[in-house]
Amino acid sequence: MRNLIFEETDVRAPEYASSHLRYAWESIRAPVIIPLLKLAVILCSTMSIMLFVERVVMATICAIVKVLGKKKYRKYNLDVMKQKLQRNKRYPKVLIQIPMYNEKEVYKLSIGAVCGLSWPSDRLIVQVLDDSTNPVLRELVELECHKWIKKGVNVKYETRRHRNGYKAGALKEGLEKQYVEDCEFVAIFDADFQPDADFLWNTIPYLLENPKLGLVQARWKFVNSEECMMTRLQEMSLDYHFTVEQEVGSSTYSFFGFNGTAGIWRIQAIKDAGGWKDRTTVEDMDLAVRASLQGWEFIFVGDVTVQNELPSTFKAYRYQQHRWSCGPANLFKKMTKEILFCKRVSLFKRLHLIYAFFFVRKIVAHWVTFFFYCIVIPACVIVPEVQLTKKIAIYIPAAITILNAISTPRSLHLLVCWILFENVMSLHRTKAAIIGLLEANRVNEWVVTEKLGNAKKQKNNARSPTSRISWFQILERIPIYNPFTLIKTIHPLEIIVGMYMLHCAIYDLLFGNDHFFVYLLLQAGAFFTMGFGLVGTVVPN
């Protein structure tokens, strides 16, 4: 027996240096790689099933709500509530906050839209919270505010000598102003959001009718969804967020994450929740969770839309996704204990917050997409001893993808492009989620999403009116005579993962018995495309 256990292996060290890598691979393949890969398959398959079940449950609830007409806001008769408000003429005083930071291209759009809201002028305060560091731009924003003041709008231009707390700090200090004390509601619009004139008439009646209601959230409408392929694919992801996630949360749990803009809060709900906090980069979600734990209810009104701009440059989109992925993971770490031991809400709602809202949607969804689809499954190609069933490797991912994409019917033909794009972005989202959980470097990084606004419109107007620009255009030409332009667009992580997937694709093509290399080649191409920055709108300096 002893001789069998300690029998010397027949594998001998190669004599040629070119074979060292193969020897090292064969040495660790059976004792290390295969067991670790099997464990990874089990963990990722479990998370994939968790995500699949959560998607099916939400899709089922959403379908039932739509078929039966049980959307929460539909139980109110908005027209009757408007008439009642007009008869009583007891208009609540409303504060509108517009936080901005060096918003050169869009500040006029947002200030103009908000100042054009239909509401009694003596019951409305527009508060422009300008944290801009550009003194020239500050003067321009202040001049724009004075222009509307002369037209009879009560505009307050507020600046700070610091950016403590970033957006959360600005909103918090804005609510502490003395002239806000008699305001009952506060609506928030980021600098690129342009509400319709009847926004307040379509949201405030819900708050007046239900004293338990703390937040009314409107839907986003994208003005540049056809700017390029990247914005079209973003629209597909965000449509699912509004059509399914927020609609289901509103109709069943009376809770969903505040989107940070295009919503109107009852100020008392903000106070009960402890006010704005800057402990994470998702101050909006933080406030929503704390307000929910105080018993406040939320409602999502899908019929009310607010125009805004999607990030159309890859750099801006990466920064945005880092903040949107890192912040929730960090908040999950900070609030799990508080949620679990909160006695003001039901156990079911607490478990929903911890498991479905945070763990599955904010952690598992990113990890499955990257580790399973981009690392583990390709690894099974070059380690055939570890086999995946079709249900786990093909059918469940396909079902999840279809459930996500049906929210944007007009873009179903872009399904393959959307899958490839989301898989590449999962690299950054997974990294950001890990940073948030570990509270590592960049956990509190706040980079304002770059917006093109008027610059983009002027560029489009400069084109010939007879020329047609297809939204299939992924990039605009980068001057080949400037090598530094290309160097700045290289993203090493995407290129490394792309090389890994290309290697797996070639191996499968040469030695595999399936056609999995087709997916691997497409995915490797997507990683290379985004790794070299050849996606989105490239705006020259």
Q: What is d(CA 342, CA 445) in angstroms, rounded to the nearest whole number?
A: 30
Q: Report angle CA 507, 511, 514 to the nearest 5 degrees.
A: 95
Active-site annotation holds for 508: no
Which residues on neighbouring strands pair with residue 219, listed in sequence order? 305
Q: What is d(CA 41, CA 383) in angstroms, rounded to the nearest whole number?
A: 12
CA distances from 11 to 8, 35, 147, 271 (A): 9, 20, 82, 70
Active-site annotation holds for 190: no
Tokens standing for 67? 């078929």
Which residues on neighbouring strands pair with residue 351, listed in sequence order? none
Closest C-alpha among 253, 492, 432, 486 to residue 352: 253
What pLDDT does residue 331 have?
A: 97
Q: What is the DSSP string of 422-475?
A: HHHHHHHHHHHHHHHHHT-TTTT---PPP--HHHHHHHHHHS-TT----TT---
pLDDT digit string (tens) for 458-489? 454 444 433 344 433 433 333 333 444 444 57
What pLDDT does residue 480 have?
A: 38
Contact 235, 310 (CB under 8 A): yes
Instruction: Please pick, among 131, 278, 286, 508, the residue that the annotation labels catalytic.
Output: 131
What pLDDT does residue 253 have?
A: 79
What pLDDT does residue 321 have?
A: 95
The pTM score is: 0.88
What pLDDT does residue 540 have?
A: 52
Closest C-alpha among 362, 531, 354, 496 to residue 437: 362
Which residues on neighbouring strands pair with residue 94, listed in sequence order? 124, 185
What pLDDT does residue 432 have?
A: 96
State which residues of the chain have pLDDT below 70: 1-18, 454-488, 538-541
Q: What is d(CA 399, CA 409) in angstroms, rounded to the nearest whole number?
A: 16
Instruction: Please pick, among 190, 192, 278, 284, the residue that the annotation labels catalytic.
Output: 284
What pLDDT does residue 515 have?
A: 83
